[in-house]
A = this chain, B = another copy of it.
Amino acid sequence: MRSEPSRSALEEARALVAEDMARVDRLILERLQSEVSLIPELARHLIAAGGKRIRPMLTLLSARMCGYRGEHHLALATAVEFIHTATLLHDDVVDDSDLRRGKATANALWGNKAPVLVGDFLFSRAFQLMVGVGDLEVLGILARASAVIAEGEVLQLVTANDTATSEEAYLRMIAGKTAALFEAACEVGAIVAGRPRGEAAALATYGRSLGMAFQLVDDALDYSAREAELGKAVGDDFRDGKITLPVLVAFARGSEAERAFWRRTLEQVEQTASDLAEAQRLLARHRAIEATLERARAYGRAAHEALAPFPRSPARDALSGLVDFCIERAY
């Protein structure tokens, strides 16, 4: 287990693959081109807006740790980012806030359809990139991950606003919607490097565990972050009526009156101005954020352990550092 200060672990990892990442950035811009100008416009808006590019970075670092010397990891990292962007675009379709702003008249058709179609385009481009790499095993892994992501997202729809969601169902849901792509992004790095099955499986475990930790910390931050650090408004999940682990813990440990509060605010989504503060008070009372972060740390330990078979290297240190970064951004 590493314990050095890792607030900068993300930057260290990025620096290690900076050259590759610059080429991935160029490949992204190149491959989202289309004669239909709305496509690159819309896609660029989201992709250029940044995000941490953590998923393609995982592919680059995994390939590097496995000693890969070719160029195919660049196309795969791009494909991974395209799949991620496609799911983000589809997530944004008709999301709560859009509906609540009541904008659903003239622009609604255009505003909702374009992200769906541009998502489809990026998804198709991702497969074209993979076909270019020419490895059927890699194609199979990412096609399967895409199906599992969709299953996870549907599961999220089904469990949305349902305080009776079990912790198990919740973990299954985030395993699909978040961890599956982390897992595949890492696994294909070993495959493209021609490493034996055991190493690919170890990297898959690393990625899956990291993805689980990442999502759990995200869920905790939504109630506890300083907004500047989160990069989005605290309480978004609450206002959307999303059921996340902190809520499930507080609900399970809460009184009947408290459960009525969660049902009103998250199932009926009837909220007043002071409800977010009350929710945070209840989460604190039941140490629900701590419980969520404890789960995240357990996944983080599993991620570290999965790296153990690999000899120490800058790439392994970077992958290890990313685990610490994901956990520690919660503090």
For residue A146, CB closer than 8 A to chain B, the reply is yes
For residue A48, CB closer than 8 A to chain B, the reply is no
For residue A36, CB closer than 8 A to chain B, the reply is yes
| Partner pick for A90 among B105, B116, B143, B160, CB 8 A cutoff | B116
A121 lies within 8 A of B143 (CB) = no
* A104 partner residues in chain B, CB cutoff 8 A: 99, 104, 108
* A86 partner residues in chain B, CB cutoff 8 A: 120
**Also in contact, A36 and B123, with CB within 8 A (given A112-B94, A113-B157, A131-B139):** no
Closest to A104 in B: B104
Provide the bound-state CA to CA distance between A117 and B155, in Å: 10
B120 lies within 8 A of A90 (CB) = yes
A94 lies within 8 A of B113 (CB) = yes
B139 lies within 8 A of A127 (CB) = yes
* A36 partner residues in chain B, CB cutoff 8 A: 151, 154-155, 158
* A127 partner residues in chain B, CB cutoff 8 A: 127, 139, 143, 146
Further pairs besides A118-B154, A123-B146: 10, Cβ < 8 Å: A34-B154, A39-B151, A87-B120, A93-B112, A109-B160, A114-B157, A120-B153, A121-B147, A128-B147, A139-B139
A154 lies within 8 A of B95 (CB) = no
| Partner pick for A124 among B39, B112, B113, B143, CB 8 A cutoff | B143
For residue A314, CB closer than 8 A to chain B, the reply is no
Interface size class of A (residues with CB under 8 A): 35 or more
A77-95 residues at the B interface, CB under 8 angstroms: 86-87, 90, 93-95
B120 lies within 8 A of A93 (CB) = no
| Partner pick for A93 among B39, B113, B151, B157, CB 8 A cutoff | B113
20 residue pairs from A and B, CB less than 8 Å apart: A35-B151, A36-B154, A39-B150, A93-B112, A93-B116, A94-B94, A95-B109, A99-B104, A99-B108, A113-B153, A114-B157, A117-B157, A119-B120, A120-B149, A120-B150, A121-B151, A124-B150, A131-B136, A131-B139, A131-B140
B109 lies within 8 A of A38 (CB) = no
**Also in contact, A109 and B96, with CB within 8 A (given A116-B90, A131-B143, A139-B131):** yes
**Also in contact, A38 and B139, with CB within 8 A (given A95-B109, A96-B109, A146-B120):** no
| Partner pick for A118 among B113, B146, B150, CB 8 A cutoff | B150
For residue A125, CB closer than 8 A to chain B, the reply is yes
A137-177 residues at the B interface, CB under 8 angstroms: 139-140, 143-144, 146-147, 149-151, 153-155, 157-158, 160
A124 lies within 8 A of B146 (CB) = yes
Provide the bound-state CA to CA distance between A193 and B35, in Å: 33
For residue A110, CB closer than 8 A to chain B, the reply is yes
Closest to A127 in B: B143
* A136 partner residues in chain B, CB cutoff 8 A: 131, 134, 136
A31-66 residues at the B interface, CB under 8 angstroms: 34-36, 38-39
**Also in contact, A38 and B121, with CB within 8 A (given A94-B113, A113-B93, A140-B128):** no
Provide the bound-state CA to CA distance between A114 and B153, in Å: 9
**Also in contact, A99 and B94, with CB within 8 A (given A146-B127, A147-B121, A151-B36):** no
